Amino acid sequence: MQIVDLIKKKRDKQEHTPEELKFLIDGTVDGSIKDYHLSAWLMAAFIQGLSIEETTELTKLMAYSGDVLDLSSVPGIKIDKHSTGGVGDKVTLVLAPLVASAGVIVAKISGRGLGHTGGTVDKMDAIPGLRTDLTIDEFLHQLKTIGISLIGQTQNLTPADKIFYALRDVTGTVESLPLITASILSKKIAAGADIILLDIKYGSGAFMKTFEDAKKLSEMLVTVGKKLGKSVTTAISDMDQPLGFTIGHTLEVIEAIETLKGKGPQDLTKLCLRYAAILLHKAKKVKTIEEAEILLKKNISNGKAIEKFREFIEAQGGNPDVINNYDLMPKAEHHIDILSEHTGFVTQLSAIDVAETAKLLGAGRDRKEDKIDLGVGVELKIKRGQKVNKGTLLAVLHANSLKHIEKALLLIQHAYVIGDKAPLNPPLIKEIIS
């Protein structure tokens, strides 16, 4: 078999056999297929698409291209959650302890962020001492003892996805529904959980810009997941404006802790409660979603949820005192107030502009090797739909270096669009597909 024949076949819109896809993935992992051939194949697949059968086969081959975790030694149903990436998306930090506080095991392998979307592993770095590089044995031990562990991607999990993703990132082939499906699901299958919730974001701050594309992706993820014997639920949620009020690592950890204490922003709290309820219901912990929400709200008000987060931090070597003393985390030297230049209603708050502002302050990366500043970011004071006067405090920039501050000030002003009429706020969770 020759890779060039596979490229020509896909270029001409023909369907690959399972043997051809195996040749492609084996050659990707052992290095016998060169990057230029892979890039050409990825572009052909991007343009011509892959059938559901091809996507399913590719997902399976990618999932088994490296280690696949066996969680069977951990008793009980294990859940996992993944987001396609958003701005201010600290859902995992709230959802994981919340679900674990109700007795369902959360086994999650998270990524670092790239570009404007922050990763959970980077956020956890703001907690002093917290390790995200546990060995698989440590990971399993922690699941058995406290029912929750969040770690970074281990070296040999889905190596084919790592190679594909790095090439897609630089060849304009990220936004392909079958390639995203294979990328996300292969990682989830390799991570071994029984129940998977995928948060599909749409809007200016997401990969999927429209609800229609997010819906198509959701349907493909559920269909392929089912064919591979996995219980996959997708929730399509709004990412046109950031989630919660904070963007930046320490700032987001603080907001997650506040949410677990019952003092979080309404949108973040609502999303986390709903997702956690879906997971408890899927794990058969409760009979109805309503029953689950009552239980979860109780665990927030009686302190069980924040206590689970404390246990988690301690088990992974972090300093649990951060829960009551936010000064233990890195923070920024300068705080710059952003005031409204107009009177009216905030009709738009662009998630991508806010993310780019935070990145200019040092909270994001352009390249994998870039170092991020954990203490900086954007604290929003006003969100979409609120009324403002000229001079109202819109946001506070948390900065250390003032190198790009002029550009950051322009961008954050640009993020807020102020008009005469209150906008119609779209629902936070638009659809759930199971």
Residue from 37, 90, 116, 187 carrying the catalytic annotation: 187
* Cα(334)–Cα(327) distance, integer angstroms: 15
Residue from 176, 183, 237, 340 carrying the catalytic annotation: 183
Nearest approach, Cβ of 425 to ligand URA (angstroms)? 26
Nearest approach, Cβ of 113 to ligand URA (angstroms)? 11
Q: What angle do CA 159, 164, 170 make, to 5 degrees?
A: 135
* Cα(39)–Cα(58) distance, integer angstroms: 16
Which chain residues interact with ligand URA by CB under 6 A? 84-85, 180, 183-184, 207
Residue from 16, 60, 116, 168 carrying the catalytic annotation: 168
In the chain, what's the furthest Cα-to-Cα distance? Answer: 68
By three-state DSSP, how is residue 112 classified? Answer: coil
Q: Which is nearer to ligand URA, 84 or 250 (CB)?
A: 84
At 360, the amino acid letter reads L
Establish whether 359 is a catalytic residue.
no
* Cα(156)–Cα(212) distance, integer angstroms: 34
Q: Return the bridge partners of 41, or none.
A: none
Q: Which is nearer to ligand URA, 50 or 273 (CB)?
A: 50
Nearest approach, Cβ of 164 to ligand URA (angstroms)? 8
Q: Which is nearer to ligand URA, 85 or 362 (CB)?
A: 85
Nearest approach, Cβ of 157 to ligand URA (angstroms)? 12
Q: Give the residue carrying structure tokens 């990328």.
A: 183
* Cα(371)–Cα(48) distance, integer angstroms: 37
Question: Reduced to 3 DSSP states, what percent helix, strand and coil does the chain have, rounded to the nearest 5?
Answer: 45, 20, 35
Specify the DSSP class assigned to residue 283.
T
Residue 91, H or E segment: helix 91-101
Nearest approach, Cβ of 158 to ligand URA (angstroms)? 9
Residue from 89, 161, 240, 353 carrying the catalytic annotation: 161
Asked whether 357 and 408 are in contact (CB, 8 A), the reply is yes
Asked whether 97 and 320 are in contact (CB, 8 A), the reply is no
Nearest approach, Cβ of 11 to ligand URA (angstroms)? 22
Establish whether 187 is a catalytic residue.
yes
Identify which of 271, 236, 346, 213 has the alpha carbon closest to the alpha carbon of residue 88.
271
For residue 194, give every residue at least 6 positions away whose Cβ sits within 8 Å of its Cβ, in sequence order, or none: 77, 78, 79, 231, 283
Which residue's Cβ lies closest to ligand URA? 183
Nearest approach, Cβ of 155 to ligand URA (angstroms)? 17
Nearest approach, Cβ of 402 to ligand URA (angstroms)? 33
Residue from 10, 37, 78, 82 carrying the catalytic annotation: 82
Kindly list the distances between the CA atom of residue 371 and the CA atoms of 113, 365, 388, in Å, as whole numbers in the listed order. Answer: 11, 7, 36
* Cα(280)–Cα(298) distance, integer angstroms: 14
For residue 113, give every residue at least 6 positions away whose Cβ sits within 8 Å of its Cβ, in sequence order, or none: 85, 119, 122, 364, 365
- Using DSSP bridges, classify how beta strands 231-238 and 195-202 pair: parallel, antiparallel or unpaired: parallel
* Cα(2)–Cα(106) distance, integer angstroms: 43
Asked whether 373 and 412 are in contact (CB, 8 A), the reply is no
Active-site positions read 82, 161, 168, 183, 187
